[in-house]
């Protein structure tokens, strides 16, 4: 069964610190892996997208990595800001079919 | 402005009273989808549509109906809502299928008493 598991479930860090969120998946084969950011009360917004052949993708202070051999991805946030407080969702697109596989998300809170 | 809109944003209703949540996109996207989001469970797909008059079940379709008569609109219908359908609902669209980036609406928070 296709699954995406994210860890930790929640995380609190101080403003200015770095953090790394994890995503483990069983989807195989897959087309791409995305990280979405979802602010409280709003719809998710795409942060990064990586195809199965890419290892890393950056978007400002956000850097996603992908290891297709171990079926793991991570999202690294550098020099966190209060506005980074949100839920981060890992989504994998299977190579076949029309259904995405969503992780449950990691809730990040950045404190001043 | 390119966007996905949903209405209403908040809704309180009672068990059994039919309701419709509208979704509209102005990006000429072919793919549209409905999700529900519950604490600890993440986003779960209810229904999706690859194009006009083409709809298919997602992972949690029970108790919901959809239609896609026009490209831009994809309403979600709850014929007889029940309390277990209390949730946060999102509509999303993408240009040509789930492999492409989906754009999400602002969400509809539904409470069924």
CB contact under 8 Å between A43 and B92, yes or no, is yes
pLDDT score at A2 = 86
Give me the pLDDT at residue A97, please: 79
Best A100, A101, A103, A107 member to test B by mutation, with max B CBs in 10 Å, is A100
Report d(CA B109, CA B88) in Å as an integer. Answer: 4
Query: Which pLDDT score is estimated for B47?
Result: 97
SS (H, E, C) chain A: CCCEEEECCEEEEECCCCEEEEEEECCCCEEEEEEEEECCCCCCEEEEEEECCCCEEEECCEEEEEECCCCEEEEEECCCCHHHCEEEEEEEEECCCCCCEECCCEEEEEEC
Q: In a structure prediction context, what are the per-residue pLDDT tens digits for chain B, which is 113 residues long?
A: 889 999 999 999 999 999 999 999 999 999 999 999 998 888 999 999 999 999 999 999 999 999 999 999 999 999 999 999 999 999 999 998 888 899 999 999 999 99
> Do the Cβ atoms of A21 and A9 come closer than 8 Å?
no
**The predicted structure's pLDDT at residue A41:** 86
Task: Nearest by CB to B107, from A41, A89, A100: name it.
Answer: A41
Contacts of A46 in chain B (CB under 8 A): 101-102
B80, B95, B99, B85: which is closest to B38 by C-alpha? B85
Q: Which residues contact A26 (CB under 8 A, 6 or more apart)?
A: A1, A2, A3, A4, A71
For A53-110, the pLDDT digits (tens) are 999 999 999 999 999 999 999 999 999 999 999 999 999 999 987 789 999 999 999 9
CB atoms within 10 A of CB A93: 23
End-to-end CA distance of chain A: 41
Phi, psi of B29 (to 5 degrees): -75, 145
State how far residue B107 is from chain A, nearest Cα, in angstroms.
6
d(CA B50, CA A101): 17
Percentage of residues in chain A with pLDDT exceeding 90?
A: 91
Using a CB-CB cut-off of 8 Å, the residues of chain A touching B56 are 98
The pLDDT, as a whole number, for residue A1 is 83
* Whether B94 contacts B31, CB under 8 Å: yes
Asked if B41 and B98 count as a contact pair (C-beta separation under 8 A), the reply is no
Do A93 and B58 lie within an 8 Å CB cutoff? Answer: no
Q: How many CB pairs under 8 A join A and B?
A: 45
Strands B4-7 and B31-38: unpaired
User: Which chain A residues touch B59 with a CB distance below 8 Å?
Assistant: 99
Q: Which residues of chain B neighbour A42 with C-beta distances below 8 Å? A: 106-107
A34: chain B residues, CB-CB within 8 Å? 101
The Cα B61–Cα B99 span in angstroms is 21
**In 10 A of CB B63, how many CB atoms?**
14
Give the closest of B42, B45, B90 to A99, CB-based. Answer: B45
The number of residues in chain A equals 112
Beta bridge partners of A38: A87
């Amino acid at each position: 069964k296709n699954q995406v598991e994210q860890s930790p479930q929640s995380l609190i860090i101080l403003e200015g610190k770095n953090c790394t969120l994890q995503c483990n998946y069983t989807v195989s084969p897959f087309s791409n892996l995305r990280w979405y950011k979802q602010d409280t009360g709003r719809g998710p917004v795409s942060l990064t997208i990586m195809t199965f052949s890419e290892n890393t993708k950056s978007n400002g202070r956000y850097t996603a990595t992908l290891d297709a051999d171990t079926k793991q991805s991570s999202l690294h946030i550098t020099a966190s800001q209060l506005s980074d407080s949100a839920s981060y969702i890992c989504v994998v697109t299977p190579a076949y079919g029309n259904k995405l596989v969503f992780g449950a998300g990691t809730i990040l809170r950045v404190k001043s | 402005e390119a966007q996905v809109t949903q209405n209403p944003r908040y809704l309180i209703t009672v068990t059994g009273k039919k309701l419709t949540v509208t979704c509209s996109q102005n990006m000429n996207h072919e793919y549209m989808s409905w999700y529900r989001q519950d604490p600890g469970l993440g986003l779960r797909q209810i229904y999706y549509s690859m194009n006009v008059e083409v709809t298919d079940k997602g992972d949690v379709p029970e108790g919901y109906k959809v239609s896609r008569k026009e490209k831009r609109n994809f309403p979600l219908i709850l014929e007889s809502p029940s309390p277990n359908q209390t949730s946060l609902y999102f509509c999303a669209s993408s240009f040509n299928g789930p492999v492409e980036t989906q754009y999400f609406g602002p969400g509809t928070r539904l409470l069924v008493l």
